Structure 1
Amino acid sequence: MELVKWPPAEPCPGPADEEAWINRLLSLHEMPVSSTLNSEQCAGTQCMWCAAGAPAVLLPLEGMSASWPPRACTGCIEARKAKLSTYLAWWGHLVGCEECQRTGRCAAAEPLAQAHAAAVEAATGSRLVTCIRCQATEDVSTPHLTPLAWLGDASSYHSYAHIPQCRARRRERGTLRFIPAPLGLDSEAEGGSRA
């Protein structure tokens, strides 16, 4: 019996699928850890992100069972969708831009990065994100911090990394080695040393 090859998965969809993709990412990657929710949030009577309660309209996330109690207010859902949408726009530019892959940010990427920074702050109340490689927490608008998306075994992952080179590696501190950088985005793979 011959196995059927699956088509290669993509970390980001085409424009026709963007709304469905954003809803999927919202359900997969923006959910708070259940241990951080209070009893009202677990029961679905307060928003899982901002703790808004009645009279706010609380909705289940798209793709989640209606019987699963945690809910979100429409303001938080829209803010989180904007965060994901601006991330995908910035990442989409990065993968096609040689200058961004070499230096971290070109002039055309700057407005995309600033729009994403504003969306992160609106959704989370902070502009801080964490580099997946060195675990440094920085303002998302830092010039050498860029989006990093890759495919894992079960899902796509969306994070941030320093480009052209992670500071932890320059200082020879420990890094996460089990997560490979996408081809062309890791300048150290071209001859630099690893910590």
Structure 2
Amino acid sequence: MSNLRRVLERQEREDEEIWRKRAEEDREADEEEEEMVVAVCMLNESRQHHRRRAPNVDRHRQSQGKNLLEDYFIPNSLYHVSKFRERYRMQPHLFQKIMHDICNYDTYFIQKYDAVGVLGLLPEKKLTAALRILAYGATAEQVDEIARMGKSTILECLVRFCDAVENLYTREYLLKPTPRDLQRLLQR
């Protein structure tokens, strides 16, 4: 009988140990679940306190883009080539070449539809914004008044334009001048 009693006691201890381990695992799982619920609640609460985005400003981008094209970029445009040269500090064909190269380099400059289905800005307009900052030292706010683009968009255009120009033209145009180049420039 004592062997039977020992076996039963051992079995009872093993069963108690199994139940104790299960209870501990359940308690740990409950604690983890509670921590996850608290984390989700905190995340939801923090999201509710974030400022909402300001509504988009209707800058009439389609009509402004059409005006820009009619002013400078179509045959028989409103302004003569000399006015283009004065305002852009380059010939129209050079602008077109740069625009073509940059659009092929970075698809950001290609006009496309946004997530809402609204047609985006013209490549000419994006390049014009970047060039006005570089050519005239204008601020993004000043360019916004002329180009009717948001400040962040203007700055994005500028950064991407500079990156594209550097990557596309460094080998050919952005080299240190040779003594011969300097002599030629000084003779002018």
- TM-score, normalised relative to structure 1: 0.23
TM-score, reference length from structure 2: 0.24
